[in-house]
Structure 1
Amino acid sequence: MTITSDKELTDETLDQIDYLAKRVSSPFPMSVQEVNVEAAKIAEEAGIVVRDVIVLVGEHAERRSPGGHPSERNEAFVSVTRFRDNKK
């Protein structure tokens, strides 16, 4: 994982990140603002920075989305994967 925090992530936090990634990679629209709000909640609960949550969501979402999947046209999916790519 390419995160800046040295804090160990709990199973609960990883489950929350995975759930958000599922929502982002689904063919149903999710706005970038919704992703940011959810990522901020997860980050606050885990005591890490939002950037790390978004990077992890992007990694999880991309693994869930094979080429040509409708989620690639989803605004939130494109946003989190671009953010993740820019932070590498």
Structure 2
Amino acid sequence: MEVLSADNLEQALRDLIVDSCNIPDASEEVFPDAPLIGPDSPWGLDSLDAVEIVVAVQKAYEVRIGGQDTSREVLASLRTLAEFIRKERG
């Protein structure tokens, strides 16, 4: 199993989110601590996008993102999502 550094995993997740949510003209910049979902999201993602992200991440990284509270915490930012994946994959 490939071990990704924080920067590499956050970049890979950024690319996955841009692809799965069809974000046109997304900046190449990675915003590790910016909110992923909601009005403060640099990409303007909403709850429907959150579902797309969960499905894509679970498929790509073979992790299970649980209930609504867990999802909200995990999807707080690219950094929290990357930390969750690293923890789950050991």
For normalisation by structure 2, the TM-score amounts to 0.30
For normalisation by structure 1, the TM-score amounts to 0.30
Structure ranking higher on relative contact order (CA contacts 8 Å, 6+ apart): 1
